[in-house]
């Protein structure tokens, strides 16, 4: 098997509810899986099972209580679980990308510039970045008349497609996808499936959450049901 780019081992997570007297709720126990370059691992399981929390731990937004999250970064291996915030920021710039279903709108920055800036983050020059951004926006059916406008006034679906273009524009070896196709129409879902396949062919490792069964079937190499990491399951 190809050397994995990402390996989670013995990861557990609980949340402390400060509004309820510091009550601690265990959400996941002993999470473990690996992902290889070019592979798409889909996290499955019912609402509240902990799928998004796993992505957030990999991205370094949530700290895990114990366990390791080892990420290949060039010749080095970094444990995200214990890495300094500065190291995590560097990983986000070069090594791992995160695409959620929501665009955090930056006031006054036009859609095309948002995607061009993202493409430039991993080293494309201006001309290459513009070409890539235009290709993505066209493929994702964002009308050309909107490219020069800030997305604040775009429809929800248009904003989501700008967001996907921005998330897929840079070249990073690991991509985390948190329901990027939620509320897209069938035609645009199919485009996203093709773009994900392109990334896989380019050797990008993907960990994703897709509620749409059809999308999941098309992109997943493996599906991990995260209910197997629930503390109740572990105690049984």
Minimum CB–partner distance for residue 21 and ligand ATP (Å): 14
Does position 52 bind ligand ATP by CB under 6 A? yes
- What sign results for the dihedral spanned by CA atoms 83, 86, 92, 98? positive
Minimum CB–partner distance for residue 20 and ligand ATP (Å): 10
- Closer CB to ligand ATP, 19 or 127, in the complex: 19
Q: Which of 11, 51, 129, 191 binds ligand ATP (CB under 6 A)?
A: 51
Minimum CB–partner distance for residue 49 and ligand ATP (Å): 4
- Closer CB to ligand ATP, 159 or 230, in the complex: 230
Spatial distance between the Cα atoms of 205 and 178, rounded to a whole number of angstroms: 14
**Eight-class DSSP state of 130:** H
66-73 and 40-44 beta bridge pairing = unpaired
- Site string (7-36) toward ligand ATP, x via CB under 6 A: --------x-----------x---------
Residue 69 and residue 11 in contact, taking contact as beta carbons nearer than 8 Å = yes
- Closer CB to ligand ATP, 142 or 219, in the complex: 219
Minimum CB–partner distance for residue 210 and ligand ATP (Å): 11
Q: Which of 53, 95, 101, 188 binds ligand ATP (CB under 6 A)?
A: 53
Minimum CB–partner distance for residue 38 and ligand ATP (Å): 25
Spatial distance between the Cα atoms of 157 and 173, rounded to a whole number of angstroms: 27
Q: Which of 37, 50, 170, 208 binds ligand ATP (CB under 6 A)?
A: 50
The set of residues, in sequence order, having a beta carbon less than 8 Å from that of 106 and lying 6+ positions away, is 114, 150
Give the binding range for ligand ATP (CB under 6 A) out of 42-50, 75-83, 155-163, 215-223. Answer: 42-50
Give the binding range for ligand ATP (CB under 6 A) out of 50-58, 80-88, 91-99, 137-145. Answer: 50-58
Which residues on neighbouring strands pair with residue 98, listed in sequence order?
A: 176
Q: Which of 47, 75, 107, 127 binds ligand ATP (CB under 6 A)?
A: 47
b (16+ CB within 10 A) / e for 29-53: bbbebbbbbbbbbbbbbeeebbbbb
In the chain, the N- to C-terminal Cα span, in Å, equals 32
205-209 and 174-178 beta bridge pairing = parallel
Residues that bind ligand ATP (CB under 6 A): 15, 27, 47-53
């Amino acid at each position: 098997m190809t050397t994995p780019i990402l390996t989670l081992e013995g990861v557990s997570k609980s949340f402390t509810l400060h509004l309820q007297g510091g009550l601690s709720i265990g959400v996941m126990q002993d999470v473990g899986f690996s992902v290889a370059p070019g592979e798409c691992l889909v996290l499955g399981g019912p609402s509240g099972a902990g799928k998004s929390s796993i992505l957030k731990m990999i991205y370094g937004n949530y700290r895990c209580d114990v366990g390791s999250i080892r990420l290949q970064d060039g010749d080095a291996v970094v444990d995200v679980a214990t890495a300094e915030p500065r190291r995590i920021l560097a990983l986000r710039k070069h090594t791992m990308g995160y695409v959620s279903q929501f665009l955090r709108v930056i006031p006054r920055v036009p859609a095309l510039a948002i995607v061009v800036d993202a493409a430039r983050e991993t080293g494309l020059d201006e001309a290459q970045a513009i070409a890539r951004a235009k290709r993505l926006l066209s493929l994702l059916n964002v009308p050309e008349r909107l490219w020069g406008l800030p997305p604040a006034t775009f429809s929800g679906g248009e904003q989501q497609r700008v967001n996907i273009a921005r998330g897929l524009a840079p070249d990073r070896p690991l991509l985390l996808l948190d329901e990027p196709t939620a509320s897209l129409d069938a035609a645009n879902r199919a485009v996203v499936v093709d773009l994900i396949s392109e990334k896989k062919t380019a050797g990008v490792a993907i960990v994703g959450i897709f509620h749409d069964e059809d999308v999941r079937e098309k992109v997943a190499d493996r599906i991990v049901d995260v209910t197997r990491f629930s503390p109740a399951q572990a105690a049984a």
